Structure 1
Amino acid sequence: MTGRTNAPQSSPPRSPAPQTPPPRSLPLHGRSAELAALATVLNLSGPDAPVLVLAGDPGLGRTALIAWAARSFTAGPVLRVRASRAESALPLSGVHALRCAADGLPGGPAVGFPDAGTAPEWLLRSLSDAAAGSPLLVCVDDAHLWDAPSRAALGFAARRLPAAGPVRLLLTVTGRHTADPDFAALPVLTLAPLPSSAMDALLDDTACGSVAPAVRAELLDEARGNPALLRALVAGLAPAELSGERRLPWPAADAEALRSAAGAHLAGYSAAAGELLLLVAAAHEHDPEGVGADADLVRGAAARLGRARAALASDRLPDALVLTDGRFRFTGPLLRRAVHACAAPDRRRAAHRALASVLEGEGHGLVALLHRAWSVAGHAPALADQLCAAAADPCVAASRAQRSVAYARAAELTADGRERAEHLTAAAGQALLAGRARVARRLVDRARDGALPAVVRGRSAWVRGTLALRDGPAADAGEALLLARSLLAADDPAHALLAGLAAAEAAWATGDSVACLRALNAADRTPVATAAATTVGHVGTVADRPTARGAEPDSLPRDYLHGMRAMLERDFGRAIPRLRRVVEHAWEEDGPERLLWSGAAALLLGDVPAACRIGARTLAAARSRGPEASVPRALELLAYAELRTGQHARARAHAEEGLRTAHRYGQGNVAAHHHAVLALAASIADESTLVAHHAGAALDTARRHGLMQAVTLAEWASGRADLGRGRPFEAVARLGPLVRPGPDGGHFAVRMLVMPCYVEAAVLAGQREDARAVVEEFALWARFGADAQAPAQLARCRALVADEDRADGLYEDALALHARAGGDFEQARTRLLYGKWLRRRRRLREAGGCLRAALVAFERCGARIWADQARAELRANGAAPAAARAGVLEGLTPQQLRIARCVAEGATNREVALRLAVSTRTVDYHLRKVFAVLGVRSRVELSRMIERPGGDGPRPV
């Protein structure tokens, strides 16, 4: 209850300063801001307030931070008091505890003992007397548990401690108590859950030995940013479980771990309060991520439980609960989980039985069945059958997460191993559709049974393959999905066809066109099934529509299959009509998975505006009817289509949201694609840091999982950023491998989009023959018509590699084609290149017109780095005055300034000549003039001068 550290010192106190923890103390990961705030309070010489309230949910580290402060405060004694709920009903028990802890301090024990009316002034005077002019740190942990008079006295003293005085006061409370009148006026620092990087480091510190990547992901997901729970989880695992040699227990966060992390915060409640807490926790179980337990439901169930009814009738709820908007909520998710898991089984079943009785009377089908199922012990096959029937019925109102929970509970109630595995597989499929990837993985791992029928093993392989497709090696996903297709073909042809199409999607992601064709051929061998011959109980369903007797075969997946296959076989006469039918289906569909096919078909046909509309429709459908797991992929389609139309700002906004949802639903591979789109969007602006960040994040996942499409997009972004910054040699090095055909090149469906960038970079780098070879292959792509920008880009590429007498006309052709295709960015790039070409031929008036139009277009679409190039060309052209510049560079001509900046970036004279389209002799001449004007004698001195703030810094040329 009470304690004291750091005995009083007889020597004069040292001059205080912000403290750091002793080397022997364990690191507090992810709390640098909190430690800095504590050090500020401990600094006696500072003008800041001498009080700080640390707020946060149990397990987030309030006590650990108080302990750090106590260890760090070496200027004088420390009083530490921890409040207890058991004493909260005793008037002035908190004040008494603080008085007991202060015995023996320099000021001696406090004189007398106050009553409730005099306690505030007495406590303030006692703290000052106890310090006796020397530094004193007072720490009160869980101050919200003090009795009301003690809380009032503590708040009074805290508000009146002088900033320059010797007493420093640190309090901790749970988050909701910061608004209490006693603490509301005090400075508060609220602890948030630890970020993943800090939890990762804490896991390394806590675990003895190696932790397998899958185990690490499981533990971090289960702990949800709570360091106390993570430590408890690790403490309960054997080394073989941490290393992945043995399977993790189920559930990972069991009663023992939750009690270890939160048990102290649940002690001291009366029997009535404890029963009410359990009832509210049980009412959360069917929707743990929801907005709380319905108050009317809780009151109705409490009427069947005498002690819970008495707790509701009291004037004050237990401090772990709040009642807002007609719902009971726990102050933190850890408390709710601990209350439910740590309760005695018979009490927990009684709470669920009471809830089931209320829900059954109100007609809540699946939810009522769930609570009834949780109220029984042992096996109950009849109840398991009822749960499965309700979970499989599309007319029953329930979320996919609730259906998953129902199937999982049915498995626990089932004695037969085969039926149990079937229920677990169905539960995994629904969890997958709900976007709960890790739950799906755990469920399907528990469903292993060699004696299962082929259809159940096929559904299990479907779940595993889909999980790997969203967050795993794409090649493994493809093989698992092909296995699912073969196992499902006889009994569930509708899902077998979908599994084959998903296997083709996996092969597409890897860039393996042969594997993609193999998967499509396998899917085509699947027997014809009637439309939507699936139910919500089956996994991986794309439409969740009930089967109609005598329904016609569903033509959409077959059209998509045949169109894709014909496209890969370059049989465009067969491909185009099929894919057009798939696109036309989009305006009649509301299933996100089927709409994704239509969006992909629109992109293959080059109808990018239609792909944007379908992407927006897919996103709306995923948000309104689900499945939730489709939202990140809908955003991926939309962001990529907008990128193809040149709408970089909109593409960035959707990709940022897609990245957040992909991480939320455990879809690492989808997140990699969103990172690649964000890198491409950033590559047109002067945002090299963002390009490097997003490209690096995309490549990190894409290379591990074999996602060649994401690799190509990310490398293209880096190469385009190099080209925009006037670094053609670096751009050629990045883009060259992407345009090569075959397995060592870029993705077969993306490499054509990269070719115009590569041609431009190769020409600027003096590799005209290499560029010319690529142009001829790009001409085949432009003739196909799948890219509206390709004909104009082809004319621009031909102008770059053409002889002098043909280039002029080709640039004009390119601009005319751009005018028909639209797209500010690509048209501006052509105008910039044409303007450069005109300026070299001294056609300055025409060059100025092209360059000004390019500058306006670049600024309109946010392409700042390219706009800088256009400005530099205008200055060199003499058509635009150079901006007034202070410093040593204003004596240089525009051409000299451009050469100086190139040299400052490390370019050789030959590289500068190629970059600026001048001769090496011209560069030598101007560089000598630069050295003379600036008074420098080496390239190193020139670089330093250019990079100084007064030198205006290097810019793209």
Structure 2
Amino acid sequence: MNGDGSRARTALPIGGRNGRDSAEPAAADRGRAALARGRRQLFDGPVGDARASLLLAASLLAADAPDRAEVARLSAADAAWATGDVTLCLSTLDGTDTPGRAGGYAGLGTVPAKASADQDGASTTGRDTDHPPSPDTTDVTVPPTESRPPEPPGGPGPGPRWARDAFVRDYRDGMRALLARHPDRAAGPLRRVLDQARTDGRTDRLLRAAAAALLLGDVHAARAAGARALAAARDADCPAAEARALEYLAYGELRAGCHAQARTHAEEGVRAALAAGYRNTAASHHAMLALAASIEGDTATVARHASVALTTARRHGLAQTATLAEWATARADLARGRPLDAYDRLGPLVGPGPRRGHFAVWMLALPCYVEAAVLAGHPQDASTVLADLAQWAAFGVDPHAPAQLARCRALLAPDDRVGDLYLRALALHDERGGDFERARTELLYGRWLRRRRHLREARSRLGAALVGFERCGAGAWADQARGELRANGAASVTEAAGGLSRLTPQQLRIVRYVAEGATNREVAQRLAVSTRTVDYHLRNVFAALGVRSRMELARLVDQESR
């Protein structure tokens, strides 16, 4: 414009023959920067922003670095999963989305299973903190009643061609099939992911394998892959990968019913996530700690961990983490005998509409909702979700669902069918394992029997429930079983022994005299106290031990002395 011909000539190559050579490195550099930024946001920022950055990275790296472009797109799918948007997740996996589309998140009432990991082939040690492994998903899939986007041509078979690596392609195709509600088509690709990971010790591949196992409902394989990923991350001295490996491992242990081990690993996970600066991962661990505490019935601990998880989840759009935390809070309400509170909390999570929980989690909360609704006096609401639970059980990825379905049907059945349904549920529990869920079924069955005056059988069922709860450390649930046993007319031997050990020395002396047959007056004379004092202590003893007669008290003392 100023007539300087030399400047004009030097400016021409920018748009001329060499312009493409200059633009490609610039695009690749921008793509790597977007990948690093998106991966960081995935673990420590709004996941909608992470997805947009990762899709941009995938488009910029596609020509010059296709392997990294695969990493970016799969990580973008992880971000879409975290938002709880099924349509967004499928479009990202199909490669039909664009970098400009923002990821929303459908309903914050949801929580974590996990299903993703890094596929960056350039890093095999887990030390690459600029490109950390990707997040996780759950062993749960799209609810049967949820609307889904149209499948790409040919259905969820061989997918779009953006995935050139066989491992990445199998993982993507398996996840797509599950999201499109074709578990039969998902099994093959996801099993190949597990097979390939057995000979591949890279942390990112092992994390993907743990996610694949959870998607298949194979908690044993998920725990094994998670443990291997944890060992590899610790060997590489990488807190970021360690935090994520602990996340998969803790979730697999929760699904397997190993709640104490899950709590230990989640506590370690919080420390590792905070050391890596991964607030999203730390929030997921807090949600799992809340779930573990809800088994124990520790409402204060549940509230503390759920509050931390929900604070980050709401700020960063973590629908899965939020759902888990809400579910944990509701289950703690059930444990403490507050079914109406649980019913109020779970209703929005499992009902239709924008407040429904994360698609990978809300089905897991259905058994709690049915129980809460029935106990709170709203059986009609419980009936409306029973079909969803039946379809979920038929889906085949949750080993506990068939037994839980039979239990829920028993809660809603007419009297002439209740017993058979509870027995069916118990038989299914025996096939699948899990002390906690079996004990919950025994408790509900025993309560039903007691209220119909089948006291001997009720005593057997309630005693089995108490043993099961005590075995898995479910203190508040065990208290419910003890209360039902007291109402049934007998305190458990375990409770009696524990109760006697808590008596004061004076109370214990009175108890032993009474057990020997002494009257209150005789006890007062032996101890040089008034009969009113003996009466007072005995009332407190009866309340503490849950007994209603001197004969029951004598029997308990005799049982302890054996």
Deviation of 1:950 (Å)? 10
Distance 2:542 2:351 in 1: 42
Deviations 1:366-411 (A, max 9, x none): xxxxxxxxxxxxxxxxxxxxxxxxxxxxxxxxxxxxxxxxxxxxxx
Deviation of 1:571 (Å)? 2.0
The residue aligned with 2:78 is 505
* Correspondence 1:834 to 2:431: no
- Amino acid paired to 1:540: H
Match runs of 1:446-457 below 5 Å: 453-457=26-30
Match runs of 1:936-951 below 5 Å: none
Equivalent position to 1:615, from 226, 235, 239: 226
Distance 1:653 1:662 in 2: 14
Distance 1:636 1:868 in 2: 31
Residue aligned with 1:745, SS? coil
The residue aligned with 2:518 is none
Equivalent position to 1:854, from 465, 471, 475: 465
Match runs of 1:676-695 below 5 Å: 676-695=287-306
Deviation of 1:518 (Å)? 1.5
Deviations 1:882-927 (A, max 9, x none): 757989xx9xxxxxxxxxxxxxxxxxxxxxxxxxxxxxxxxxxxxx
Deviations 1:606-635 (A, max 9, x none): 111111111111101111136442110000
The residue aligned with 1:342 is none
- Amino acid paired to 1:836: R
Distance 1:525 1:483 in 2: 8
* Correspondence 1:843 to 2:454: yes
Distance 1:661 1:541 in 2: 14
Match runs of 1:40-59 below 5 Å: none
The residue aligned with 1:643 is 254
The residue aligned with 1:492 is 65
Distance 1:624 1:678 in 2: 25
* Correspondence 1:878 to 2:489: yes
Distance 1:840 1:459 in 2: 66
Q: 1:616, 1:638 within 8 Å by CA — same for their partners in 2?
A: yes
Q: 2:71, 2:120 within 8 Å by CA — same for their partners in 1?
A: no
Match runs of 1:436-835 below 5 Å: 453-522=26-95, 534=122, 540=131, 554-625=165-236, 627-835=238-446
Query: Aligned pair in 2 of structure 1 residues 524, 836: CA closer, same or farther (>3 Å)?
Result: same
- Amino acid paired to 1:470: F
Q: 1:511, 1:747 within 8 Å by CA — same for their partners in 2?
A: yes
Deviations 1:399-448 (A, max 9, x none): xxxxxxxxxxxxxxxxxxxxxxxxxxxxxxxxxxxxxxxxxxxxxxxxxx
Query: Aligned pair in 2 of structure 1 residues 567, 598: CA closer, same or farther (>3 Å)?
Result: same
Distance 1:859 1:846 in 2: 20
- Amino acid paired to 2:248: L
Residue aligned with 2:360, SS? coil
Deviations 1:288-315 (A, max 9, x none): xxxxxxxxxxxxxxxxxxxxxxxxxxxx
Give the TM-score normalised by structure 1.
0.43
Q: 1:497, 1:523 within 8 Å by CA — same for their partners in 2?
A: no
Identity across matched positions, percent: 58
Query: Aligned pair in 2 of structure 1 residues 952, 845: CA closer, same or farther (>3 Å)?
Result: closer
Query: Aligned pair in 2 of structure 1 residues 612, 532: CA closer, same or farther (>3 Å)?
Result: closer
Distance 1:815 1:555 in 2: 42
Q: 2:133, 2:241 within 8 Å by CA — same for their partners in 1?
A: no
Q: 2:207, 2:245 within 8 Å by CA — same for their partners in 1?
A: yes
Deviations 1:749-771 (A, max 9, x none): 00111001111000001111111
Q: 1:631, 1:661 within 8 Å by CA — same for their partners in 2?
A: yes
- Amino acid paired to 2:175: M
Q: 1:500, 1:523 within 8 Å by CA — same for their partners in 2?
A: no
- Amino acid paired to 1:806: R
Match runs of 1:303-314 below 5 Å: none
Structure with the higher strand share, 1 or 2: 1
Give the TM-score normalised by structure 2.
0.73
Q: 2:129, 2:240 within 8 Å by CA — same for their partners in 1?
A: no
Residue aligned with 2:232, SS? helix
- Amino acid paired to 2:37: R
- Amino acid paired to 2:131: G
Deviation of 1:554 (Å)? 2.7
Q: 1:465, 1:478 within 8 Å by CA — same for their partners in 2?
A: yes
Rg larger for: 1
Q: 2:335, 2:477 within 8 Å by CA — same for their partners in 1?
A: yes
Query: Aligned pair in 2 of structure 1 residues 798, 654: CA closer, same or farther (>3 Å)?
Result: same
Deviations 1:173-219 (A, max 9, x none): xxxxxxxxxxxxxxxxxxxxxxxxxxxxxxxxxxxxxxxxxxxxxxx
Deviation of 1:952 (Å)? 7.5
Residue aligned with 1:590, SS? coil
Deviation of 1:641 (Å)? 0.5
Deviations 1:845-891 (A, max 9, x none): 1110011011011001000000000000000001327757989xx9x
How many residues align structurally? 434
The residue aligned with 2:525 is none
Distance 1:455 1:950 in 2: 77
5+ residue gaps, structure 1, are: 1-449, 544-551, 891-948
Deviation of 1:804 (Å)? 0.9
Deviation of 1:776 (Å)? 1.1
Deviation of 1:574 (Å)? 1.7
Residue aligned with 1:684, SS? helix
- Amino acid paired to 1:823: G
- Amino acid paired to 1:734: R
5+ residue gaps, structure 2, are: 1-22, 100-118, 135-162, 508-539, 547-562
Structure with the higher helix share, 1 or 2: 2
Distance 1:707 1:535 in 2: 27
Q: 2:239, 2:275 within 8 Å by CA — same for their partners in 1?
A: no
Please list every run of at least 4 consecutive aligned residues from structure 1 whose deviation after the TM superposition is greater than 4 angstroms.
523-526, 535-539, 881-887, 949-953
Residue aligned with 2:43, SS? helix
Q: 1:832, 1:870 within 8 Å by CA — same for their partners in 2?
A: yes
Distance 1:743 1:452 in 2: 43
Deviations 1:635-674 (A, max 9, x none): 0000011001110100000000000010011000000000
Query: Aligned pair in 2 of structure 1 residues 469, 806: CA closer, same or farther (>3 Å)?
Result: same
- Amino acid paired to 2:389: F
Distance 1:665 1:857 in 2: 38
Deviations 1:228-264 (A, max 9, x none): xxxxxxxxxxxxxxxxxxxxxxxxxxxxxxxxxxxxx
Q: 1:510, 1:707 within 8 Å by CA — same for their partners in 2?
A: yes
Q: 2:226, 2:246 within 8 Å by CA — same for their partners in 1?
A: yes
Deviation of 1:742 (Å)? 4.6
Distance 1:583 1:697 in 2: 33
Deviation of 1:573 (Å)? 2.7
